[in-house]
Chain A
Amino acid sequence: GQNIDQPTEMTATEGAIVQINCTYQTSGFNGLFWYQQHAGEAPTFLSYNVLDGLEEKGRFSSFLSRSKGYSYLLLKELQMKDSASYLCAVRDFGSARQLTFGSGTQLTVLP
């Protein structure tokens, strides 16, 4: 099975940088995903890591260390619209490449 932990809430200021951590314990690992979910909406894909290291996409970066069972999502130059829940998800080797999601980190960006 999979166990995924991430902080429940975080607060940051507009223009700042914030790092959202995710730790996992898994019976099988086939990639880690980050999704963004605004209140009342569906999650949208942000990033994917399967190898160790940093993946950068504009203001968002995601890091993975498989040996430590650890990932983080880094958001730079925060904007008010970045206020949302950020979900960490681990994929296993199942037939449908199932994802197991963490409970999400609710980020509030203050002016």
Chain B
Amino acid sequence: SQTIHQWPATLVQPVGSPLSLECTVEGTSNPNLYWYRQAAGRGLQLLFYSVGIGQISSEVPQNLSASRPQDRQFILSSKKLLLSDSGFYLCAWSVPDREYSYEQYFGPGTRLTVT
């Protein structure tokens, strides 16, 4: 069966510090991968998605970046955090090239507080 891991679960970082969040998927090959951010009491905002190694698409211009160094690894980074970067960060995966009932599966999330 497939599983998705994210770490850390919680993180408190000062403004201006760097960030690295990691997501890995097990039990599937060549998944589509996604990074979302959710502000308190809000819906999910898609930040980045990837259809393959080294292929990253950005949905929202900001001070965050993403990388996919391996097939099942997705990393979210920042060189200098802003207060507005606080939120609940969710990684998700989906099966590629399937047309129907093509849901995304979410990891447990990382709660980031920038102070």
Residue positions of A touching B, CB distance < 8 A: 31, 33, 40-45, 48, 50, 87, 89, 91, 95-104, 106
Contact = CB atoms under 8 A, between A and B. Distances in A.
B50 A96 contact: yes
A42 B106 contact: yes
Contact of A42 (B42, B49, B50, B108): B108
B104 interface: yes
Interface residues of B, number: 28
A96 B103 CA distance: 12
B101 A48 contact: yes
Contacts of B34: 96, 98
Contacts of A100: 46
B57 interface: yes
Q: Which 10 A-B pairs have the closest CB atoms?
A: A42-B106, A103-B43, A101-B44, A45-B103, A101-B43, A96-B49, A96-B32, A48-B101, A104-B43, A96-B51
Contacts of A106: 41
A89 B100 CA distance: 15
Nearest to B106: A42
A99 B109 contact: no
A91 B102 contact: yes
Contacts, number: 58
B94 interface: yes
Nearest to A42: B106
Contact of B44 (A43, A96, A97): A43
Contact of A97 (B42, B50, B90, B94): B94
A31 B104 CA distance: 13
Nearest to B97: A97
Contacts of A45: 103-105
Q: Which of A44, A99, A102 has the most CB of B within 10 A?
A: A99
Contacts of A40: 111
A97 B109 contact: no
B107 interface: yes
A31 to B, nearest CB: 7
Contact of B103 (A48, A101, A103): A48
B57 A50 contact: no
27 contacts: A41-B109, A42-B106, A42-B109, A43-B44, A43-B90, A43-B106, A45-B103, A45-B104, A45-B105, A48-B100, A48-B102, A48-B103, A87-B44, A89-B44, A95-B57, A96-B32, A96-B94, A98-B34, A98-B46, A98-B49, A98-B59, A99-B46, A101-B36, A101-B45, A102-B43, A103-B43, A104-B43
